[in-house]
Structure 1
Amino acid sequence: MEARAHFYREEINSTVWEVPEKYTRLKQIGTGAYGSVCSAINEKTKEKVAIKKLHRPFQSEIFAKRAYRELRLLKHMKHENVIGLLDVFSSALSLDDIQDFYLVMPYMFTDLSKVRGQLTEDKVQFLVYQMLCGLRYIHRAGIIHRDLKPGNLAVNQDCELKILDFGLARSTDAEMTGYVVTRWYRAPEVILNWMHYTQTVDIWSVGCIMAEMINGKTLFKGRDYMDQLTQIMKVTGVPGAEFTQKLDSQEAKNYIKTLPRYPRKDFSTLFPRASAKGIDLLEKMLVLDGDERPTAELALEHPYFDSLRDTEDLPEPASYDDSHDNATLTLDEWKRLCFREVRSFVPFPRRDSKRKNTLTISP
């Protein structure tokens, strides 16, 4: 098919991009298993954006389902601390013609994995506050992120943060699988393969990231699956019978019985630079039993955030319709659903941030 008049084609690293003329100065900034990302300028708004092209989204049912889920999740997110869509487009005029589509998102300066060294307490406080505001929104929509790590927490130079990458996010009532979060940030119940863990797996990840920002190094740097669990229990202490009874896996129960009786470490010794309120919050988030961790909503009520808390940061989301998350459809059916979502996109008017902050960050 010929490109539509207001689209143009450009080859970038051996991949042909076909984008509306309003997006100029494309420059590749990332690539992964499922897509490539270019920065661009929207000539109408003069805004710098990030455009993601999915790699052959309709090559199979699995790829098409993943593409559909990512599109649906991004369309659903309307919170300043969660990445959302500014635009979605395809040059295809009809369902028969669609081969791919592009997702346009805000351009972010860097991510937390590239921010080196210890951060000052005011920066840590502001970044963790934003993580929890974003998580509260995601969780109240009925979604668990499950893959929180520094690399998918984008930040701008003014310290504003957005949660990225919903490729692995699933709604809370879908059956859970054990191998999701990057190992160092995995909650123990994910490592132990509980089938029905809750939204507090994300709170554990926030605790790990907060600890890393305070100390300037990864808190639990396990060499493998079991060493990760050992590193965790050297800090949290080995659990008692009440905890182990909750585990589905007999293998996990047996493993815990073989561990030395590590006591819980003193967090004020582990984090000598942290304030008393910061240490108290960390102690609440880094609890072995997920049932004992606070929700994002409760964590935001902690005194650590007294100077930041603002009800305008806590909008209520619509509930996410996950009826297709576990569906088995044909490739043509997934394609039809994707085409419908692309065609029905309406931009969401964004709220200008009223947060008064002079924090700056540089990688």
Structure 2
Amino acid sequence: MAMLVDPPNGMGNQGKHYYSMWQTLFEIDTKYVPIKPIGRGAYGIVCSSINRETNEKVAIKKIHNVFDNRVDALRTLRELKLLRHLRHENVISLKDIMMPVQRRSFKDVYLVYELMDTDLHQIIKSPQGLSNDHCQYFLFQLLRGLKYLHSAEILHRDLKPGNLLVNANCDLKICDFGLARTNSSKGQFMTEYVVTRWYRAPELLLCCDNYGTSIDVWSVGCIFAELLGRKPILPYTPGVPLASMYPHAHPLAIDLLQKMLIFDPTKRVSVTQALEHPYMSPLYDPSANPPAQVPIDLDIDENISSEMIREMMWQEMLHYHPEAATAVNM
């Protein structure tokens, strides 16, 4: 549980209060009341909270010492820039970024997201039964959110069950956009981060620089196979028919899975083609899936200084707190 504690050195900042969770200090805006920690990862600790101004439950993610690692700092900045523009019911919503007290010396970043109950990785690991309807609905939402991203010329590049958040009513939202890039400026994918190989497209395993949206489709295929079989499809024995691997799956599900897992990316189905596949016909309505309004610019100079990254993060925070633009910050 979250424990209210005294501020460090007995000197708190106005508008902030302090909580200890998992031996980590949270300095958060007083309008948020933490409930309990719900997750810990390489990039921070997440706690569930209540916004007492709206009575809405949210998730607060603390990224500690964000500037200690340039790659992590750039990853965080990229996600902030992207999520400010994304508005889709199958993409996680960033509701707030807490303003730090010191503009030029802050070290931690607090992100406020809509609260979800679990992720697809936990569901796959659980003893909970998954019917064809469950698998179909999860796949539909994943493809629907991905179509929106691709319409904005965004490649996610790190799709896996742990990056797909789910609510008790089976609503699914794509999260974790730190590796996302525009289709025209994909950057140094292979050197900056090693994505889980179980979901990585063959063209990336072959170190091909000329890749596109089809890499995300391959990842979706791997995730769908994992839903059907309750374990990763890779590694697997070559030559074994998918219908034999998943004997209880719907024949149309197997057909779509085969089309998403074609090795040649030029022959692999697109997200739109996957949504138009007969397996998706009970759920897909093209008129209810509008594209993004405009492509999103994610270009960031990889060589900028930590001070510039900090300033760019500050500018992102101002979009959520325009009143702070006129405040004096040191």
TM-score calculated relative to the size of structure 1 = 0.78
Q: Secondary structure at the match of 1:294?
A: coil
**More divergent stretch after superposition (173-182 vs 65-74):** 173-182
Structure 1 unaligned blocks of 5 or more: 223-230, 236-264, 348-363
Name the counterpart of 1:196. Answer: 210
Kindly state the Cα deviation for residue 176 of structure 1 after the two structures are TM-superposed: 4.8
Pick from 8, 14, 37 the counterpart of residue 28 of structure 1. 37
- Aligned pairs for 1:205-284 (under 5 A) are 205-220=219-234, 222=235, 231=236, 234-235=238-239, 265-284=240-259
**More divergent stretch after superposition (123-132 vs 182-191):** 182-191
Q: In structure 2, what residue type is equivalent to 1:284?
A: K
Q: Secondary structure at the match of 2:25?
A: strand
1:148 equivalenced with 2:159 (yes/no): yes
**More divergent stretch after superposition (311-320 vs 164-173):** 311-320
Deviation digits for residues 5-44 of structure 1 (CA, Å, limit 9, x no counterpart): 3221222233221111221134221222222111111112
Kindly state the Cα deviation for residue 139 of structure 1 after the two structures are TM-superposed: 1.5
Q: Secondary structure at the match of 2:66?
A: coil
1:177 equivalenced with 2:198 (yes/no): no
Name the counterpart of 1:309. Answer: 284
Deviation digits for residues 121-164 of structure 1 (CA, Å, limit 9, x no counterpart): 11111100000011111122222111111111111110100111
1:331 equivalenced with 2:306 (yes/no): yes
Segments ≥4 residues shifted beyond 4 Å: 1-4
Deviation digits for residues 216-272 of structure 1 (CA, Å, limit 9, x no counterpart): 22211x3xxxxxxxx37x04xxxxxxxxxxxxxxxxxxxxxxxxxxxxx43333322
1:75 equivalenced with 2:84 (yes/no): yes
Q: In structure 2, what residue type is equivalent to 1:25?
A: P
- Aligned pairs for 1:50-129 (under 5 A) are 50-59=59-68, 61-92=70-101, 95-115=103-123, 116=126, 119-129=130-140
Q: In structure 2, what residue type is equivalent to 1:283?
A: Q
Kindly state the Cα deviation for residue 280 of structure 1 after the two structures are TM-superposed: 1.4
CA distance in 1, matches of 2:21, 2:230: 36
CA distance in 2, matches of 1:299, 1:69: 28
Q: In structure 1, what residue type is equivalent to 2:244?
A: T
Cα RMSD (Å)? 2.2
Q: Structure 2 vs 1, CA of residues 55 and 25 (structure 1 numbering), >3 Å: closer, same or farther?
A: closer
Q: Structure 2 vs 1, CA of residues 219 and 58 (structure 1 numbering), >3 Å: closer, same or farther?
A: closer
Q: Sequence identity of aligned pairs in percent?
A: 42
Kindly state the Cα deviation for residue 317 of structure 1 after the two structures are TM-superposed: 4.2
Q: Does the CA contact (< 8 Å) of 2:34 and 2:47 recur in 1?
A: no
Kindly state the Cα deviation for residue 306 of structure 1 after the two structures are TM-superposed: 1.3
Structure 2 unaligned blocks of 5 or more: 1-7, 323-330
